Copies of this chain bind each other. A is one copy, B any other.
Amino acid sequence: MIAKKMQSMVANSSAIRAMFEEGNRMAEMYGRENVYDFSLGNPNVAAPKEVKQAILTLLEEEDPVVLHGYTNSNAGYADVRESVAQSINGRFDTHFEGKNIIMTVGAAGGLNVALKILLNPGDEVITFAPYFGEYRSYTANYDGVLVEISPDTETFQPKLPEFEGKITEKTKAVIVNTPNNPTGVVYSEETIQKMAAILEKKQKEFGTDIYLISDEPYRELAYDGVEVPYLTKYYANTIVGYSFSKSLSLPGERIGYLVIPDEAADSRDLQAAAGVATRILGFVNAPTLQQKMVAKCLDAKTDISYYDRNRETLYQGLLECGFSCIKPEGAFYLFVKSPVPDEKEFCAAAKKYHILIVPGSSFGCPGYVRMAYCVSYETIVNALPKFKELAKEYQKG
């Protein structure tokens, strides 16, 4: 018998993954060009050319014993951590040093490290629906309790009054994800300022430290010149979890970092513990070749115009079909209102047209569906007539 805790985790195993695997099965049956798979956030844009060039240079110039060896510190190569810190400082007018940076196995690895070092059993972690469903598992890994704030389906900004009411003395962390998966919404500076003020107030009221964990895999994907606030500047107890998965189109390589600012409470303990947690959780260190690679690619950019065209085309096309959806300012997802209350029924209907989309229930927000538009432009163009047929089913009814 597998572990009891794992049984429910397997049972609730990601609907996104299931859909993605279904998409691959359907592609084998019908041909990939006849399947419109909007299920997974797996970028369809190739990594920028700097990535390949950096790896080639490293293979030629670096001593392989160093390039592929254990890093001196489990938190990563000292020079890589320093480069990352300077890059953040240059962009956001912050004052980090290498010690503030912990290289991680992607943002998922980083979030696990952060929760491992913070949570005692029963501690509460607040997040805002709709949210990336894996937060539930990450929190459960360390016997924490995930507390959801219900969605504001008008703006998809956090509902701050409900947030304030649900903070207790057991609240240890708050996870925010902006640009947001699954809505594409960017939390405004005003939202962040208000959220920080609430957290300060509640910390004082309870005499506790509440850490704001900013999960930022989509930071670089923001459209129309929208600014994504850097949260450490608004609230001292902030931990940033970053990933290069989307910004450099390499989600499989598992490379990202945590930022633990000196201003955070118990920052030195947290920094030391993060290194130890990286080791004992089995990561040991972020993959070394990729650490050195990202240090050479901190200014490289994915082709955001590609996603932007997809965004505009799919968004406008869906509106023309009669669907309704908030226009995303970032990431590569559309969060579309299901024409029927049970959005799983809608997802099943879409599958008849070989359209794969993910139920909002997976994100704590039933009645909506997520569409990942990090696909080829052709997929979107070819899917739109199918969406039209799908929409007709509901107009008739």
Q: Which residues of B contact A381 (CB under 8 A)?
A: none
A300 within 8 A of B: no
Q: Which residues of B contact A269 (CB under 8 A)?
A: 1-2, 10
Contacts A64-B46, A64-B52 hold; do A279 and B134 have CB atoms under 8 A apart?
yes
Q: Which residues of B contact A42 (CB under 8 A)?
A: 69-70
A261 within 8 A of B: no
Let me know if A266 and B117 touch, CB within 8 A: no
A272 within 8 A of B: yes
A184 within 8 A of B: no
A316 within 8 A of B: no
Let me know if A71 and B252 touch, CB within 8 A: yes
Query: Which of the 9-residue segments A191-199, A227-235, A283-291, A322-330 touches chain B?
Result: A283-291
Query: Which of the 9-residue segments A137-145, A303-311, A333-341, A357-365 touches chain B?
Result: A137-145
Contacts A1-B266, A272-B10 hold; do A283 and B280 have CB atoms under 8 A apart?
no
Contacts A68-B251, A266-B1 hold; do A141 and B6 have CB atoms under 8 A apart?
no
Q: Please report the C-alpha to C-alpha distance between residue A45 and residue B69 in the assembled complex, in whole angstroms.
A: 10
A395 within 8 A of B: no
Contacts A3-B119, A254-B284, A277-B6 hold; do A47 and B74 have CB atoms under 8 A apart?
no
Q: Please report the C-alpha to C-alpha distance between residue A280 and residue B51 in the assembled complex, in whole angstroms.
A: 27
Query: Which of the 9-residue segments A93-101, A108-116, A146-154, A343-351 touches chain B?
Result: A108-116
- A270 CB contact (under 8 Å) in B2, B14, B69: B2
Closest chain B residue to A4, Cβ basis: B120
Closest beta carbon of chain B to A268's beta carbon, Å: 10
Contacts A55-B55, A283-B109 hold; do A253 and B289 have CB atoms under 8 A apart?
yes
Contacts A/B (CB < 8 Å), 23 sampled: A1-B266, A2-B269, A3-B118, A3-B119, A3-B120, A4-B120, A6-B116, A13-B276, A42-B69, A46-B65, A47-B64, A52-B64, A69-B249, A69-B250, A71-B252, A105-B105, A108-B279, A108-B282, A134-B279, A254-B285, A281-B281, A281-B282, A287-B287
